[in-house]
Amino acid sequence: MRTLIIEDDRELAETIAAGLRRRQMAVDVALDGATGLANAQVNDYDVIVLDRDLPVLHGDDVCAALVQDGLRSRILMLTAAGSTDALVDGLELGADDYLAKPFDFAVLAARVTALARRSQPAHPPTLIVGNLTVDTARRLAMRSGQPLELTPKEFGVLEVLLTAGGRAVSAEELLDRVWDENADPFTHAVKITISRLRTKLGPPSLIETVARSGYRVIAP
């Protein structure tokens, strides 16, 4: 799950980002509307947390541009105003949800998670392949009844592969979906993560390398 935070209050933006990263999300941060819009137009985000009162380019204009571009990203708009008029304004601009400041982080995280589910093709919250069970809501994975200690990146890669339904997923797509904008496009991070994931999953192997295409999960 990849999220973009567009918020000019650096401390608040980094606090939100840190909290979402602890929930195994890949998070990018932009501190003004123009930078945020540029990021959203070149990266594939599941959710964009968008402050309304932004410098350089107002949040309303960012939201309108995102909707006009037809991006699949879901938009959670933040605002200091909690009035009904402000709520209506935000939703009429095309935002998918709205949260007034100050807010409880647990509420924001729950809203982001719910929006992320809507941004992807529907799939069951529990994914099962052979004796592997992955609970995407609780971020838990088990094989043969034994819990797997997966890092956020390992879990993210496994989730993307499972939801691909047997389709080969390229290293570039995995890098885009699971890592953040600081990831080096020439890195071997995906290959290393796949190798560690295979080791943790154990035999028989579930992850197959498809020549010149990427990786896919196969039923044992």
Does one domain contain both 6 and 115?
yes
Does one domain contain both 135 and 99?
no
For 167-196, the pLDDT digits (tens) are: 899 888 888 888 876 666 667 889 999 999
Does one domain contain both 62 and 14?
yes
Residue at which a domain ends, from 100, 119, 138: 119
Q: What is the mean pLDDT of residues 142-158?
A: 91
Does one domain contain both 23 and 114?
yes
Does one domain contain both 38 and 79?
yes
Q: Rounded to the nearest 10 degrees, how much is the dihedral formed by the CA atoms of 38, 44, 47, 50?
A: 0
Q: Is the full-model pTM beyond 0.75?
A: no
pLDDT at 63 over 60: yes
CA 41 to chain centre: 15
Residue 50: give the domain boundaries. Answer: 2-119
Residue at which a domain ends, from 99, 119, 139: 119
Residue at which a domain ends, from 65, 97, 119: 119
Provide the 10 A C-beta neighbour count for residue 208: 13
Number of domains the chain contains:
2
- The CA R_g of the chain, rounded to the nearest whole Å, is 18
CA distances from 36 to 67, 149, 191, 200, 214 (A): 14, 34, 30, 37, 30
pLDDT at 29 over 60: yes
Does one domain contain both 115 and 143?
no
pLDDT of 86 reads 62
Q: What is the CATH number of the domain that holds 78?
A: 3.40.50.2300
Does one domain contain both 155 and 181?
yes
pLDDT at 122 over 60: no
Return the minimum-mean-pLDDT range out of 78-87, 140-149, 203-212: 78-87
Does one domain contain both 145 and 41?
no
